[in-house]
Amino acid sequence: MKHTPSTPRTISQPNDLAILRQAHQEWTHSTDPFTRLTRRLSSSLSLETLTGILAEELGNVIPFDSLTYRHQIADRDFIYATGLGGPHSCEYRLNLEGVNYGILTLKRRKAFSEDELEGIEMVISAAILPLRNACHYMTIEQAALTDALTSVPNKRAMDEQLQRASMLANRHGGDYSLILCDLDRFKNVNDQHGHVVGDHLLRLTAEALEGAVRNSDTVYRFGGEEFAVLLPHTGEREAKAVAERIRTAVAAISIDCGDSKLSVTISCGVARYLPDEGADQWKTRADQALYIAKREGRNCTRVFAGIR
């Protein structure tokens, strides 16, 4: 039997390890601005956290009155802002290897000197790679929470936000409401017109729902033809009014199918969050209200009977 000789391992000498430990100690405890900045930026992949670190470290060496960072990630706007601003500003487009990673704007009451502008650019050059990594991470994270067909958040995103809304409602009070919506007789659409038309209808439905709610509300697709809307700071009466707007918006959808026009209706179930209940209980009550709407003829809104 032929044996292939293995590559011998090099054993580190004691003084090599001592140098490594010393370098690690110096890197960990160094107070020079660049080492401290890069050390802190290596601690997270959260874009919000990293932007906050950048603002704090930059402010330690070059005073400013406000900092704003803007970037569009996966069709969603990310904005970080701190401070109140001023009449003088400088703006930087963060580009790396031909790709844009947002715009950073600094403002203050006093004009920035050339030396300060040079210092800002040096700090940005040290921060742009971690910011790029955080942008990539957010892109992947958002893709995992987004419905590929309609581009609205998916069931996973909805479940996470219902848990968070439940926690906030219990901790701080305030009304939260949930609307579950289901397109009526959607299976007939696929059977009669095909899945291409059915998918187009789902996209139009998502757009109609987003157009019928406030910016603070969030639309989710959590099933085939099932959608949900989470409404913060919204009681039962207001949520029911939103559900009625949704019904009107969906009823206005019209798809040209050649010889005929396709239109659909939607049924809605509403439930306001009750103190100390779990997110699953909340969702179950909204689903029960939706079931009643379906049972009582479809194309209507029903509110869970226990909310008063």
- What 8-state DSSP symbol labels residue 88? E
Give the distance from CA 33 to its chain's centroid: 32
User: Which of 252, 236, 253 has the alpha carbon at shortest distance from 301?
Assistant: 236
Pairwise CA distance, residues 189 & 97, whole Å: 47
- Torsional sign, CA 103, 108, 112, 118: negative
**50's tokens:** 């990293």
What is the 8-class DSSP label of residue 260? S
Q: Find the catalytic residue in 56, 225, 236, 244.
A: 225
Strands (E), the chain: 66-73, 76-83, 88-96, 99-108, 176-183, 218-221, 226-232, 255-256, 261-262, 266-272, 301-303
Helix (H, G, I), strand (E, B) or coil at 62: coil
Angle between helices 114-144 and 33-41 (to 10 degrees): 10
- Nearest Cα residue to 204 out of 158, 131, 254: 254
The answer to whether residue 116 is catalytic is no
Please list the active-site residues: 225
